[in-house]
Copies of this chain bind each other. A is one copy, B any other.
């Protein structure tokens, strides 16, 4: 076994020297092989192989100015919703020969900024981001510096920024209507902070649907803010709800992960679903229909969301576009069952 000590990376001039040609010729066999005679091409290729030469991307990029890479920042990479979106992005990018750098902000604007900067410094073509705060000024600034920017899963608050989103108001409203139709008059909503646009929109949609149904949101709606938008958050939120004096009869969750935590907590507490507490999730992730109590959830076109976002990013026509998909309520036993 060779215990090759890590040596300095070979550069193009090392290759040139070994092949006894000029650096220009090496560059040519790399980028326009037809311009160079078969004989020398052979020689250069051999030298490249011998030295394990890999062109320095920084130097190349410094010359070229740009690369075929895009960045994406999602809120939480452990959430299947976002990974499905990421797959959509990857698939579209792949078609165009682009590569994706993926990062997760953890709903932390500071982390978001850090990754944005990293991407920018590395000269990505553009970025797709699920903003972790209400503010998009930093993204407009990015755009004015020549990067393509697409807002992910969030309608653009400004004309100049492209966006691909799902109508969160409509999704939450549909879920609320369903619950009201079932006779629920007091609903808990395990929601994230309103600084996250999706959360604010869903709260609004829910409220509006309640009002439409002739209910007083002040009475009918108990919004519980959970900090972790996952199963642990859902568990903590549900514990709060269960401790309430005038306990709601239904719980809507900001996503299916939170709903998973809610179901788990309810079961541990011996509260039957839906007779003791109806539960609605959001996202309709793959396992939603396979749970002990199959989960009523709001389905979003995740893969398309990502695919379309990448599509906009790649679009040579640089004008801003705003795409909105419609969600769809999928009804299952967690609201209509006999449990």
Determine whether A17 belongs to the interface, using a CB cutoff of 8 Å to chain B: no
Measured between C-beta atoms, what is the minimum distance from A338 to chain B in Å?
A: 15
**What's the Cα separation between A122 and B61 when bound, in Å?**
9
CB-based nearest B residue for A101: B101
Are A1 and B158 within 8 A (Cβ)? yes
Within 8 A of B (CB), among A184-234: 231
Within 8 A of B (CB), among A73-130: 77-78, 80, 83-84, 86-87, 90, 99-104, 114-115, 117-118, 120-123
Measured between C-beta atoms, what is the minimum distance from A284 to chain B in Å?
A: 13
Number of interface residues of A (CB under 8 A): 62
**What's the Cα separation between A4 and B291 when bound, in Å?**
50
Q: Which residues of B contact A260 (CB under 8 A)?
A: 286-287, 290
Q: Which residues of B contact A1 (CB under 8 A)?
A: 158-160
Q: Which residues of B contact A7 (CB under 8 A)?
A: 144-146
CB-based nearest B residue for A333: B292
Are A103 and B100 within 8 A (Cβ)? yes
Surface stretch bound by B, among A22-30, A52-60, A172-180:
A52-60
Determine whether A272 belongs to the interface, using a CB cutoff of 8 Å to chain B: no
**What's the Cα separation between A334 and B114 when bound, in Å?**
44
Q: Which residues of B contact A160 (CB under 8 A)?
A: 1, 3
Q: Which residues of B contact A54 (CB under 8 A)?
A: 117, 120-121, 145
Counting from the closest, the 8 A-B pairs by CB-CB distance are A57-B121, A6-B146, A4-B144, A58-B58, A58-B61, A58-B62, A102-B102, A287-B287
Q: Which chain A residues have a beta carbon within 8 Å of chain B's beta carbons?
A: 1-4, 6-9, 52, 54-62, 69, 77-78, 80, 83-84, 86-87, 90, 99-104, 114-115, 117-118, 120-123, 141, 143-146, 158-160, 231, 257, 260, 263-264, 286-287, 289-292, 294, 318
